[in-house]
């Protein structure tokens, strides 16, 4: 692939329209992750199904996670643009269907469509940024994308609350319609890539086995201890069948001409350690986002809006450090930069666990901000290190694998942290409504987050030392690229 050199990273640069389009598409997924939760009471009041409502989130996360590796591989075959447009189209369709949902089962089904769209949108946005920006520029570009999550962490809950209070919860889905259409228009207008079409063999069997096996395993993790007991027949069956199918998938991939998830992704030390790092990042994010608001609201009666703003400090710190991480990794390398980041994450999460016995909104916001600063120096440089180690025709798979690991880490984090908290709640009848018990359970979760941070530190220590050399264009040093992007 050859990329036209364009100076600067920002809205006024030649690649500005593409960056804006990528931020819009990222915003679709980012806002959706926060806006729906605030509308729970209104949705349940209107269409019922309170006991089934957790599936609205679980099924979306599942559909997104299992589809990421498939989209990632396809993008290395047919190009990024067709995949991201398909993703936006599916997200748009799912949003419209959700807006017209007449029952809880219908809403859950339509969330699958939304999740399948999100599975293409987020990794493709990050991959395209990796394609059009140099190694030096990518940190700043990823900072722009990360800022979307910071904005969404404030805007999403606010919009959801307003729509719910007005009794028009369906607008939380219909608001995606103009955003999707605008993103498509900008991508069609600004982003152009030329693919050298060659004959490819689609790994349908591998894709099917991966989807079914991961669906069963992630469902088992998400619903274990919730919808069914861990030692129940559904739980054991899902783990066993999912595990067997995953083994079958690995066997198929060894013989596939063009595997959907190549084995070399796990045989290269840099890619393996960065994926493990991303796995831990996903777990830490979910541990904090799931329990910080509950902890503040249940312990000292903090309003949902104020609790949400305390959590927003996490995503406010992230883009600040992510956008500046390039200055560090160009000078001291990726591994050293990520080590600094994981040290800050550990300090922030440890401080959260220390202050937990004495609930205070402002102290918790400060510790979340520190953790977010560290996250920006962990997630962004580790992803860029992985992207920069491969050519265009492998970058989609590498990016998709990294984000897939983060999704699986989030799913497992939900299960493990939930088990920790539920074990404490179970000791006291109605414990999830007793402030002292909530403080104890949340504190245990925050300690578990510290443990995950230490595990991530171990993975980072195992990363190979690689220098970040900034080429004149993102593809200049990749002789095996087979497409062209004009900007």
Q: Which residues of the chain have pLDDT under 50?
A: 1-5, 470-487
User: Would you say the C-alpha torsion 395, 399, 400, 401 has a positive or negative sign?
Assistant: positive
User: Would you say the C-alpha torsion 250, 254, 259, 262 has a positive or negative sign?
Assistant: positive
pLDDT of residue 469: 56
The continuous run of DSSP H or E covering 270 comes out as helix 269-300
Q: Any idea what DSSP says for residue 465?
A: P
pLDDT of residue 41: 63
Give per-residue pLDDT as tens, 125-148.
888 887 888 877 777 787 788 778
pLDDT of residue 226: 64
Neighbouring C-beta atoms of residue 467, cutoff 10 Å: 11
Exposure pattern of 38-64 as b/e (b: 16+ CB <10 Å)?
A: bbbebbbeeeebeeebebbbbbbbbbb
pLDDT of residue 450: 95
Give per-residue pLDDT as tens, 382-418.
988 888 888 777 787 888 888 888 877 877 777 778 7
Q: Give helix then strand counts, H and E, for the chain.
A: 17, 3
């Amino acid at each position: 692939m050859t990329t036209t050199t364009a100076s600067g990273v920002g809205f006024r640069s030649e690649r500005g329209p593409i960056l804006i389009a990528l931020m819009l598409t990222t915003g679709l997924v980012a806002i959706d992750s926060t806006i729906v939760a605030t509308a729970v009471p209104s949705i349940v009041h209107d269409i019922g199904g309170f006991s089934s409502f957790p599936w609205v989130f679980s099924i979306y996360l599942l559909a997104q996670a299992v589809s990421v590796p498939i989209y990632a591989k396809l993008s290395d075959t047919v190009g990024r643009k067709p995949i991201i447009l398909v993703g936006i189209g599916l997200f748009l369709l799912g949003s419209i269907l959700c807006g017209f949902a007449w029952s809880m089962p219908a809403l859950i089904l339509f969330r699958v469509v939304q999740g399948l769209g999100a599975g293409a949108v987020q990794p493709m946005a990050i991959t395209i940024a990796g394609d059009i920006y140099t190694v030096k520029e990518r940190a700043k570009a990823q900072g722009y994308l990360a800022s979307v999550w910071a904005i969404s962490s404030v805007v999403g809950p606010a919009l959801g609350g307003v729509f719910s209070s007005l009794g028009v919860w369906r607008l939380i889905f219909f608001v995606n319609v103009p955003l999707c259409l605008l993103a498509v228009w900008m991508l069609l207008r600004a982003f152009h890539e030329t693919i050298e079409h060659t004959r490819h063999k689609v790994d349908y069997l591998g894709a099917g086995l991966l989807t079914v096996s991961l669906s069963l395993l992630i469902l088992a993790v998400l619903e274990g201890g919730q919808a069914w007991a861990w030692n129940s027949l559904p739980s054991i069956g899902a783990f066993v069948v999912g595990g067997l199918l995953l083994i079958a998938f690995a066997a198929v991939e060894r013989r596939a001409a063009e595997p959907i998830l190549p084995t070399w992704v796990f045989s290269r030390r840099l890619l393996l350690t960065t994926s493990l790092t991303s796995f831990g990042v996903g777990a830490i994010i979910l541990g904090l986002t799931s329990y910080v608001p509950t902890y503040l609201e249940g312990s000292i009666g903090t309003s949902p809006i104020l609790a949400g703003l305390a959590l927003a400090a996490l995503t406010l710190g992230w883009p600040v450090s992510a956008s500046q991480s390039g200055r560090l990794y160009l000078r001291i390398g990726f591994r050293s930069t990520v080590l600094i980041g994981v040290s800050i994450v550990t300090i922030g999460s440890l401080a959260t666990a220390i202050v937990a016995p004495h609930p205070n909104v402002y102290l918790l916001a400060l510790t979340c901000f520190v953790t977010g600063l560290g996250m920006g120096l962990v997630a962004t440089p580790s992803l860029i290190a992985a992207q920069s180690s491969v050519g265009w025709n492998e970058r989609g798979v590498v990016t998709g694998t990294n984000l897939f690991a983060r999704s699986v880490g989030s799913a497992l984090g939900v299960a493990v942290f939930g088990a920790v908290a539920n074990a404490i709640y179970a000791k006291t009848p109605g414990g999830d409504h007793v402030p002292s018990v909530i403080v104890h359970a949340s504190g245990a979760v925050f300690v578990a987050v510290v443990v995950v941070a230490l595990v991530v530190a171990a993975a980072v220590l195992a990363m190979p030392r690689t220098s970040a050399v900034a080429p004149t264009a993102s593809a200049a040093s990749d002789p095996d690229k087979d497409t062209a992007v004009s900007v």
